[in-house]
A and B are shown apart, each in its own frame.
Chain A
Amino acid sequence: MVLNVQLFLDTMAYASVLGLLSMSLTLTYIVSRVPNFAHATFAAIGSYMVLIVVWLLGIYKTGPSWGVYYASLPLSFIVVGAVALLQYLIVLRPLAKKGISIDGLMIATLGIDIILVGLLNISADFLEDIFQQSPDKDLRKLVTYPRSGYLSSYEPTIMGVTASSILGPLLLVVSTVGFYLFLTKTKFGTAMRAAIENPQLAETLGINVNLVYSVSWFIAGGLAGMAGVIMVMTTKLNPTMGWLLIVSVFAGSIVGGLGSLFWGAVGGLLVGFLEQFGVYYTQIILGALTGETVSLGNYRQVFSLGAIVVMLLVAPQGLASLNWGKILSRLGLRR
């Protein structure tokens, strides 16, 4: 089968997650000029919010429910937004003010990642304890979830399609369009662009640059947290689930050029599709060659790494830097 509908739907969820993550990572990079290696773990925190919602709202008893989304999307937006804000205010801003080199700032973000993963591990230990000692038989079944839970069994479907396949793209489109409107149509959004381009000038005009940057970090964290909610529907919950995912997220941002939110979203989407379909077709080809069933899902990041290498060596400024008018006319799509 050349086109596979279910694969396409799964990919929609996964690729929009990457789109959201690459876009929000790009936002933090534009603001602070440091690649945030903790960004994928932001998403992991969002994923844990789903488990907490499943537990506290009793969804583990009732089965699939929209409550999963109603509650965890806003919750993760706020919680992870706050985490990102703290990272900026407590760690990155003071260090940058002290004139610490970019290497120092990057290692600081690795340090934050370690701290966050440590906190997730502690939470996982806690949750395991709570679930295990619960008198509630259904809750006891959740005991393995904090370290390897498949939460997709609690998400509702719309006409047979899992909600994440629809909510993911929806969230991506809404946040991209929303960002666009916010940045171009509102005074604060314009101030945000101004402060990012030239903080010193913005400061002299009375724009509170620190507030603008703080808001950016909060929104970026919030988006990453919401991405985590969708993400956990496509993968297994684990405290270190961000460690490999970061490869795909950076791939998306680099494909987009690390300079524009829109292209960050596009880059993430493309990388998601590249991974999923790359794996799918490679499996088919290898399967035909060897006569055995080949399963390569675990190696999807090979395609991301390839995208990073090719992009950095061929067009280091990303897709955003290409002359699209020229390309389209070359392809005969535009005169």
Chain B
Amino acid sequence: MAPILEVKGVDAGYGKLQILFNVSMEVESKDIFVIVGPNGSGKSTLLKTIFGLTRIYKGSIRFNGEEITGKPPHDIAKTGIAYLPQTDNVFAQLTVAENLKMAAYTLPSDLAEERISEVLERFPLLKARLKDKAMTLSGGQRQILAMAMSLIRKPKLMLFDEPTAALAPKLAAEILDEIIKLRDELGITIILVEQNAKKALQMGDKALLLVGGRVMYRGGAKELLEHPELGALYLGLKK
């Protein structure tokens, strides 16, 4: 089967500042694909590049066989990719209800309402907070809201950038469980950037190790976890 996402020899960065060098990767449908690497190695940049938020100098990105290189983010969103940024992934000044409404912005209003009630069924805790401003939510609730917002458009591929950053371990585990459920129950392909490499690699199918904007490892997630050197060298994993 052809991969759902294919990144080929991509050089990308911000303005004239190149961050990614000749990055390639293939993501199979319904996989959890994990991207790990030290701080500042370009993990977020890689996600942003897939979503059209950086400048691509070279290479190509194909999604579902369709060329999406150089498309603006709102067009890429329409192809079925959702991106959850590392920070500021909800509108803090808007209420939960308004946030969901904005997530359904491009849908016709009856469909929008249907989808909103669907995700509220999935995440009942949001139902109780509909009238509250998003800034009053806790960190974990905010991640849930961000997830709910992306689900409204029924994406086929979701890009998560450190969804558990700054969360207590128990909450973090809950969020990661939700992500696994998204794959298992809804069949959504996941690309996950995680600070906690061990947890992520345990739940992942395939993995990519990025160091200094270059690919150092590409292959099975468990294999990376058990790799004799790479884990210790770059990810702070004990041998």
Q: Are the chains A and B members of one assembly?
A: yes
Can you list 5 A-B pairs with a CB-CB distance of less than 8 A? A194-B98, A200-B88, A201-B90, A203-B74, A206-B78
Contact indicator A202/B93 (Cβ below 8 Å): no
Complex alpha-carbon distance, A213 and B190, angstroms: 33
Contact indicator B105/A207 (Cβ below 8 Å): yes
Cβ of A190 under 8 Å from chain B:
yes
Q: Report, as a range, how many residues of chain A touch the other chain.
A: 10 to 19
Q: How far is the CB of A320 from chain B (nearest CB, A)?
A: 13
Complex alpha-carbon distance, A197 and B94, angstroms: 9
Complex alpha-carbon distance, A202 and B88, angstroms: 11
Q: How far is the CB of A155 from chain B (nearest CB, A)?
A: 41
For the complex, would chain B's binding face be called helix, strand, loop or mixed by DSSP majority? loop
Chain B residues near A202 (CB-CB < 8 A): 91, 102
6 additional contacts (CB under 8 A) given A194-B91, A201-B85: A187-B101, A190-B98, A194-B94, A201-B89, A205-B103, A207-B102
Contact indicator A187/B105 (Cβ below 8 Å): yes
Which of A99, A187, A198, A203 touches B91 (beta carbons < 8 Å)? A198
Q: Which residue of A lies closest to B48 (CB)?
A: A200
Complex alpha-carbon distance, A257 and B105, angstroms: 30
**Contacts between chains A and B (CB distance < 8 A), count:** 57
A 147-185 to B, binary, CB cutoff 8 A, 1 in contact else 0: 000000000000000000000000000000000000000
Which of B15, B73, B77, B92 touches A99 (beta carbons < 8 Å)? B15
Q: How far is the CB of B148 from chain A (nearest CB, A)?
A: 13
Complex alpha-carbon distance, A208 and B102, angstroms: 12
Chain A residues near B33 (CB-CB < 8 A): none
Contact indicator A190/B85 (Cβ below 8 Å): no
Cβ of A204 under 8 Å from chain B:
yes
Contact indicator B51/A204 (Cβ below 8 Å): yes
Which of A193, A201, A206, A208 touches B88 (beta carbons < 8 Å)? A201
Q: Report, as a range, how many residues of chain B touch the other chain.
A: 20 to 34
Cβ of A191 under 8 Å from chain B:
yes
Complex alpha-carbon distance, A194 and B95, angstroms: 11
Q: Which residues of A, 204-220, contact B by the 8 Å Cβ criterion?
A: 204-208
Contact indicator B15/A197 (Cβ below 8 Å): no
Q: Which residue of B lies closest to A187 (CB)?
A: B101
Complex alpha-carbon distance, A63 and B98, angstroms: 51
Complex alpha-carbon distance, A201 and B105, angstroms: 12
Q: Which residue of B lies closest to A206 (CB)?
A: B106
Complex alpha-carbon distance, A190 and B73, angstroms: 20
Contact indicator B101/A190 (Cβ below 8 Å): yes
Complex alpha-carbon distance, A266 and B46, angstroms: 46
